[in-house]
Chains A and B, each alone.
Chain A
Amino acid sequence: MTTGPLQPNDPSKPAAPAVGDSTAPPPATPTSASEIIDLPRGKELSESLALALARSRPLRWVVVAGPVGAGKTTLVTSLYELFQWNRVPEYVFAGSETLPAFEERCYLARTASENLEPETGRTIYDPIPTYLHLRVAALKLPRRFSELVFTDVSGEMFEHARDSTAACKELTFLRRARHFLLLLDSKRSLVLDKRWAMVEEAKALLQSCLDSEMLAHDCAVRVLWSRFDYFVQAGDTTEHQEFRKDVATGFQASFGHRISDFKFGEIAARPTRAPKLGFGKGVVNLFDEWVSDSPQATEMNLLPKSGGTRESEMFGQRHFATGEKP
């Protein structure tokens, strides 16, 4: 498997280096190979590493779906950025198995990159999914951790799933999803001759997921207007609001009876077009939903908790040490 390289959303901009290739040349190794112990690499989790993690502790799986450029990665990294500055009310950061992966994804939006405008590198299509991990704790219950695992997959993967229930059935992470987020790109919604096609594409994806029976009956489905700052910048006119209402009505009519927990929402993870919305607009509300329900340990028939050791890391150590790539 190859890890998913990132590229800026705007094709006119220079491409970001591929994940794993983008670090500076490694400095000289301090000692000979025989004296070295490999540590967890901290990159995005492969399927096997994510499942190994799931065997060691109850996880909350969050699937972020949507077309290319809708802001899937930005949604997830914005939550990580909020923790960087302790801006998540009632919760604190407790750890992550994928710190370098988060860092790489945040980089083009940081001043260290010397970019003038914040960007998120585009996740390149890879048929094998990868995941990002975040461990958090409630301030009032600091030793009670919630483990969140987010899909880190490209929009193309969901396009394939939309067009084929067979392809959809290959997305086994859908079965594990406790939260399924379907993003509708607000920017595209402002383009009159594109917006209804975008809506139908999203509906087709949800239909495919339901018809192929990949979403569990208790999976919470959220259809989100992502990059909502585009609507705000455009004045969020009555026409815009009616459009969104029509879309919501259409979704409700098509899927309301098939999904037990189905809601619409708005997010502006990095609202550069309307900064007054505040960084991470709507993200904390979603996060509150993710951490307030119970994780899927029993439903997934996972092994019991191992007693707090970092199983996935040890899994990683075992395999990386021998050169095997899980």
Chain B
Amino acid sequence: MNKSSSHQFLLIGLPSTGKTSFLAALWYMVNQSEIECALSLDRLEGESGYLNQIRDAWLEYKPVARNPLDSEKAVSMILKRRDSSASVELTFPDLSGESFRLQWAQRQFTTQYDQRLREAKGAILFVHPENISKPHRIDKLNELVAAMGGAEVAQQDMNEENAEVKPKPWNIEKAPTQVQLVELLQFISGRDYFRPPFRLAIVISAWDLVSHLWKNAGDWLSSELPLLRQFLDCNEGLFEVDFYGVSAQGGRYASSLFTAGNFKDAKAFVEEMSKKSSPVSDWLWSLFDVPTQTILLDKDQTQQTVESVLIRSFNQMMANASIYDEDRFKGVKLRPETKEIMKGVAVQMGEEAIRLNRLLLEDAYPSDLTRTRQYAEEATALQKKKPGRRVLLVGSNVKNPHDITEPVQWLMH
């Protein structure tokens, strides 16, 4: 058996930036033979249950369950180089996005992360183009409103409402994405064991969502996160960087969040809910505060307004946790698909919980809610692709646009 050289790389990124999806697609791609990847599986060794679990979700076009803070895993793969057959052991601590958010907000590392950082030969930094917060200024917004002819209205609104408007308190967690990412990198470069240059593959995930606007990931970063780009450009002595646009999922999955049209008759739905004729209705109605209940029951409100309130409230509620409770759903006939998901272990948070909650609500209100899903057509088109063709990469050093191991190869060089 060949002796493996070993490399440990960190996957860095704020919550919901595509780290686990990347890992799931990577595990599939190194195992398949349809696409010739530069790295392929050499042999199984040790635990691969978690990798199989996230790969299966990826193959079933289900959102890969978010990695909770308390179950962070380090996954290992023993791969071989296609060009030399040399064996390589890759280890990726699959750290939750939450842990990186806490680094910024609470100004703390875990000793475990510190140890992994010490051992890491590089990192992949993930950014999701639809999940960034920008430092928008009020003066700029007001200028835009004025340019659109709304100056007088805006000023009038300001005069009337200014005394009543209280700014929301500052919350460090809501700081712009680019600021948080710069700080995460400053934390890394500030460690006493840090030895520059540290290799950093910047991955813009879900690249398919922005590929029609941008030719390469570096340009996207310059435009959307300019502070981070400036920081990277002038700190090349600290961080050696390469940019990738990676579509690991291949496209959008059907969304379980409610959208316009999902309530067949929003006002009738509210009426039924407000009668509290079932435990589910009783519980749902209690979730609305009194002013919202008043708006919902106001006969002068349009269907559109009532529906938008329901959509916003239900989507917020569904994202929190599973809404299933035996007493609450007593008497509701659950379809097999719902029961199947409820057997899963990772339905307490994230996308899986949203999916389960949507099914539960549909089961509770079979004649009031449609079962159509946003992005359903895109999802069907995606399912017609061969799995290996789902992955797509762009980058100046990318040789094979379907080879998801490209950023890893660059880190290894």
> Which residue of chain B lies nearest to A276 when distances are taken between CB atoms in the complex?
B143
Residues 106 to 127 of chain A near chain B (Cβ within 8 Å): 106-119
A285 an interface residue at 8 Å Cβ cutoff?
Answer: no
Let me know if A94 and B235 touch, CB within 8 A.
yes
* CA distance in complex: A85, B146 (Å): 21
Given the interface contacts A86-B226, A93-B227, A313-B190, does A270 sit within 8 Å of B139 by beta carbon? yes
Contacts of B176 in A (CB 8 A): 84, 103
Contacts of A142 in B (CB 8 A): 233-234, 236
Let me know if B230 and A83 touch, CB within 8 A.
yes
* CA distance in complex: A23, B171 (Å): 4
Contact code string B155-181 (vs A, CB < 8 Å = 1, else 0): 001100111011111111111101100
User: Distance in Å from the Cβ of A311 to the closest Cβ of chain B?
Assistant: 10
Q: Out of B163, B165, B178, B233, which one reaches A92, CB within 8 Å?
A: B233
Given the interface contacts A94-B231, A103-B172, does A116 sit within 8 Å of B138 by beta carbon? yes
Let me know if B138 and A110 touch, CB within 8 A.
yes
- Secondary structure at the B interface, as helix, strand, loop or mixed, is helix
> Which residue of chain B lies nearest to A108 when distances are taken between CB atoms in the complex?
B167
Contacts of B60 in A (CB 8 A): none
Contacts of A145 in B (CB 8 A): 234
Contacts of A23 in B (CB 8 A): 105, 170-173
Q: Out of A81, A112, A143, A309, which one reaches B174, CB within 8 Å?
A: A112
> Which residue of chain A lies nearest to B178 when distances are taken between CB atoms in the complex?
A84
Let me know if B233 and A103 touch, CB within 8 A.
no
A40 an interface residue at 8 Å Cβ cutoff?
Answer: yes
Q: Out of B110, B157, B162, which one reaches A31, CB within 8 Å?
A: B110
A185 an interface residue at 8 Å Cβ cutoff?
Answer: no
Residues 97 to 151 of chain A near chain B (Cβ within 8 Å): 99-100, 103-104, 106-119, 137, 142-143, 145
User: Distance in Å from the Cβ of B399 to the closest Cβ of chain A?
Assistant: 29
Q: Out of B99, B111, B135, B167, which one reaches A35, CB within 8 Å?
A: B111
Interface size on A, residues (CB 8 A): 60
Let me know if A86 and B230 touch, CB within 8 A.
yes
Residues 199 to 241 of chain A near chain B (Cβ within 8 Å): none
A46 an interface residue at 8 Å Cβ cutoff?
Answer: no
B148 an interface residue at 8 Å Cβ cutoff?
Answer: no
Given the interface contacts A23-B105, A37-B114, A103-B179, does A109 sit within 8 Å of B230 by beta carbon? no
Contacts of A37 in B (CB 8 A): 108-111, 114
Given the interface contacts A92-B230, A113-B168, A116-B138, does A42 sit within 8 Å of B109 by beta carbon? no
B237 an interface residue at 8 Å Cβ cutoff?
Answer: yes
B192 an interface residue at 8 Å Cβ cutoff?
Answer: yes
Let me know if B179 and A99 touch, CB within 8 A.
yes
Q: Which of A9-17, A169-177, A187-195 contacts B (4 or more CB under 8 A)?
A: A9-17
Residues 4 to 61 of chain A near chain B (Cβ within 8 Å): 12, 14, 16-17, 22-24, 26-27, 29-31, 35-42
User: Distance in Å from the Cβ of B285 to the closest Cβ of chain A?
Assistant: 28
A305 an interface residue at 8 Å Cβ cutoff?
Answer: no
Let me know if A113 and B139 touch, CB within 8 A.
no
Contacts of B166 in A (CB 8 A): 14
Q: Out of B99, B137, B165, B226, which one reaches A110, CB within 8 Å?
A: B137
Contacts of B237 in A (CB 8 A): 143
Q: Out of B111, B140, B179, which one reaches A36, CB within 8 Å?
A: B111
B286 an interface residue at 8 Å Cβ cutoff?
Answer: no
Contacts of A119 in B (CB 8 A): 167
B102 an interface residue at 8 Å Cβ cutoff?
Answer: yes
B212 an interface residue at 8 Å Cβ cutoff?
Answer: no
Name the residue among A29, A39, A96, A279 with the largest chain B CB count within 10 angstroms: A39
User: Distance in Å from the Cβ of B143 to the closest Cβ of chain A?
Assistant: 5
Q: A-contacting residues of B (Cβ < 8 Å)?
A: 69-70, 98-99, 102-103, 105-112, 114, 133, 135-143, 146, 157-158, 161-163, 165-176, 178-179, 182-183, 186-187, 189-190, 192, 222, 226-227, 229-231, 233-237
The 5 closest A-B CB pairs, nearest first, are A92-B230, A137-B234, A86-B226, A118-B138, A113-B167
Cross-chain pairs A/B with CB under 8 angstroms, 9 sampled: A22-B170, A24-B172, A27-B105, A37-B109, A92-B233, A109-B138, A116-B157, A143-B237, A272-B139
Q: B-contacting residues of A (Cβ < 8 Å)?
A: 12, 14, 16-17, 22-24, 26-27, 29-31, 35-42, 81, 83-86, 92-96, 99-100, 103-104, 106-119, 137, 142-143, 145, 270, 272, 275, 279, 309-310, 313-314
